[in-house]
Structure 1
């Protein structure tokens, strides 16, 4: 035991300055992130053009469906939803159009109207960064997880846009995922919101494709990771069963019911394109 302890102690002594240097660099980086976060929050109260009080993002648009020459307008889904009960319209709706199944999805927003899933990614980023770990780290320190029915007087499912998700202190899985995906897209990442189940429960998360590798990002995680290398590969993530995925422009559906941990390939069909009006 002693013969192991002595050289190890010497090695640690030699490594200590380097460890302290790395720790100091990470500390400066995270302090810088927190300062940028504080500045972004402060802009909300200063009448900044990016604040929700001075800007309303337009979510309206149409969906161009693969295999149909007739686009699906938002007015159509809102007319249908308006005829349903509050309970029937409370959850995410997956839409068929012109005989084509599962072409897109919609959900109720803070304005109490259903909007296409893509429209919730409004092109928002709280602040600029070159480091891909910053958005997930920011969510971990900024946003609290809370079920919608506890936050919205019993309503089962309310979606926040990416901008709203940043300024709203609380939100559930899709609110976290929408903000994370939209911010990563701004950084040039092929990022998508995935819809499905986790351990049998309805869930939303983010898949990010970086250097041709698929990473599964649990947007609701409160682990304060400050390294992209710490992000898990999607192929190794257990318990996630994806059914659909979307980004700002496109909506994908899985070809069959077979489980998969791959988010690209022939088993995925690009069903539609969202055109914001």
Structure 2
């Protein structure tokens, strides 16, 4: 990931970027779990490209606001900005509500709400929670957006695109992982913030009332959920925002936390697809 821009939808004023976001941990482990062959067989049965173009249209209903933030307004506001200013993730203020939601530029060169990138996609059915992370480790390569997209600073992939695109950066990995886990019945969210001072995106998954931090860009091939780190023990991660298919959360203060639930989080808005 990369710089974030804060944009007030009321005043249309732009606040300077304050984070430079990029990859955190990136590991390699050649050990294959015993069920790896089953994963490879499932992957080989999938078409080499997506057969569905997912709609990302929708509106955002902001807590404390009587008017929704629409995609049409989003596109008009972004088009009024310079190419450089619109190249990054934007955090939106709406009718006096700060940090109401986020948007980012997709492969179609348009900004879309962050929630809309989780399109309900899973490559194949599985009951094993380790399979999505293992699949990412074996299938998708990490690459910065400016290298993959001819100098463009920041492009997000939907979960479906992230599976079929061979390369992607941290939020592309995290979006696919979170969306797949949600299909498995897990309360999974994409977390945005920094890792060791560098901007980053990762996944938090809540299983049996425990919060796990999943490094979606990790190339370790874990075959046990017990190997996943508890979020409370994960060092170096500073979360600012989190989102799933429907909701967007922001912290009440800038104070650091390793807890992804509780009164220090505010559910800022709801994304309604359609």
Shorter-chain TM-score bucket reads 0.7 to 0.9
How far did 1:78 drift?
0.9
Q: Residue by residue, what CA displacement relative to the aligned partner does 1:179-223 show, whole Å, maximum 9, x if unpaired?
A: 000000000000000000001111000000000000000000000
State the partner residue of 1:64: 61
2:107 equivalent to 1:101: no
1:260 corresponds to 2:262: no
Shift of 1:58: 0.5
Preserved contact between residue 33 and residue 222 of structure 2 (Cα < 8 Å)? no
Higher Cα Rg: structure 1 or 2? 1
Q: Which residue pairs with 1:207 in the alignment? A: 204
The 2-side partners of 1:65 and 1:35 are apart by 44
**Pairing of 1:86-235 with structure 2 (within 5 A):** 86-235=83-232
Matched residue count: 243
CA deviation vs aligned residue, 1:54-82 (integer Å, no higher than 9, x gap): 31100010000001111100111111111
Q: Residues 41-52 of structure 1 correspond to what in structure 2 (within 5 A)?
A: 43-44=47-48, 51-52=49-50
RCO (CA 8 Å, sep 6+): is it higher in 1 or 2?
2
Correspondent of 1:273 among 260, 264, 270: 270
Runs of 4 or more consecutive aligned structure 1 residues displaced over 2 Å after TM superposition: none
- The residue number in structure 2 matching 1:21 is none
Mapped pair 1:246 → 2:243: yes
Q: How much has 1:270 moved relative to structure 2?
A: 0.2
Tell me whether 70-79 or 138-147 shows the greater mean CA deviation: 70-79
Corresponding position of 2:75: 78
- Deviation of residue 26 (structure 1)? 4.5
* Runs of 5+ consecutive residues of structure 2 not aligned to the other structure: 1-31
TM-score with structure 1 setting the length:
0.86
1:84 Cα shift? 1.1
SS in 1 for 2:76: helix
Secondary structure in structure 2 of the residue aligned to 1:94: strand
2:27 paired residue number: none
**Matched residue of 1:156: which SS?**
coil
Please give the TM-score of this superposition, normalised by the length of structure 2: 0.87
Q: Aligned-pair RMSD on alpha carbons?
A: 1.0
Residue 43 of structure 2 aligns with which residue?
37
Partner of 1:107: helix, strand, or coil? strand
Higher helix content, 1 or 2? 1
Q: How much does 1:111 deviate?
A: 0.1
Distance 1:107 1:67 in 2: 23
